[in-house]
Amino acid sequence: MVFPLYDENPFKLERPPFVTWGLIAANIIIFLVEAGSDEATQAILASFAATPAAITHDIHATGTIPAELTLVTSMFLHGGWAHLLGNMIYLWVFGDDIEEALGPLRFIVFYILCGIASALVFVAFNRHSTTPLIGASGAISGILAAYLLLRPCAKVSVFVLRVVVRVRAYWVIGGWGLLQLFYVVQQADDGVAYLAHVGGLAAGAILFMLMRPSGVELFECVDSA
């Protein structure tokens, strides 16, 4: 397993990354509510997880909200502590840079759109599936794509094989993205929505190029010792 711990940020933040922190807090609070009991978990998943067959109207939606809205609500649900913490670590390390580049308002719109797009890609290829889709990884995949466009040469400290090493962002994010593509091609069936990750990466790349302010340059390689 590879986990990012810290990125060397050349930006001087004008304000703390409140949106990134707020998203992390919201995900943790919702998970604590979700994990309160088995009954609560089942009720929340039934109402707020994104079920492809319900979204495509292949089956009747039984949730308390329209099936289309679950494209948003599902990205705040997680299947366990490992699922939650893995996503939040990536959001913590990379989210503040993209929030700084886009600004708070554009960033939250970017985040939500990436999550929706990633879920739609998954639904498009699994129209009849009744397995719920949950997790923030689609939206976070979009953040990773934006980071790769923004700061591909940034040094990132990662925990791998029980040691901490510093590598370029393009190795961390590029390697992760290629691994997602590999699993999609191999049609891996381990309960992970790799197709949603790929959809999030594509959406993030496109949206970041469209939404970035005029003063934000792409592929800025700031070398550091």
Domain that holds residue 158: 16-211
Q: Which residues contact 85 (CB under 8 A, 6 or more apart)?
A: none
Helix (H/G/I), strand (E/B), else coil: 34:
helix
Residue 114 lies in a domain: yes
Q: What pLDDT was estimated at residue 223?
A: 54
- Name which of 210, 85, 191, 68 is nearest 136 in CA terms: 85
Number of domains present in the structure of the chain: 1
pLDDT in tens, 68-80: 999 999 999 999 9
Residue 220 lies in a domain: no
Q: Assess whether pLDDT exceeds 80 at residue 186.
A: yes
Residue 214 CB coordination number (10 Å): 5
Q: Which residues contact 215 (CB under 8 A, 6 or more apart)?
A: none
Q: Assess whether pLDDT exceeds 60 at residue 19.
A: yes
DSSP per-residue letters across 164-181: EEEEEHHHHHHHHHHHHH
d(CA 110, CA 213): 13
Residue 9 lies in a domain: no
d(CA 95, CA 101): 10
pLDDT in tens, 160-174: 888 999 999 999 999
Element (H, E) at 31: helix 18-34
**What CATH number does residue 189 fall under?**
1.20.1540.10
Mean pLDDT confidence for 36-46: 83
Residue 8 lies in a domain: no
Q: Assess whether pLDDT exceeds 70 at residue 13.
A: no
Q: Assess whether pLDDT exceeds 60 at residue 54.
A: yes
Residues 34, 78: contact at Cβ < 8 Å? yes
Residue 56 CB coordination number (10 Å): 15
Mean pLDDT of the chain: 91
Residue 7 lies in a domain: no
Residue 222 lies in a domain: no
Burial per residue of 1-11, b for 16 or more beta-carbon CB atoms within 10 angstroms, e otherwise: eeebeebeeee
d(CA 207, CA 102): 11
Q: Assess whether pLDDT exceeds 70 at residue 192.
A: yes
pLDDT band with cut points at 50, 70 and 90 for residue 1: low
Q: Look-up: residue for tokens 């708070």?
A: 104
Higher pLDDT among residues 12 and 26, named by residue: 26
Q: What pLDDT was estimated at residue 222?
A: 56
Q: Is 0.85 topped by the overall pTM?
A: yes
d(CA 175, CA 169): 9
Residue 218 lies in a domain: no
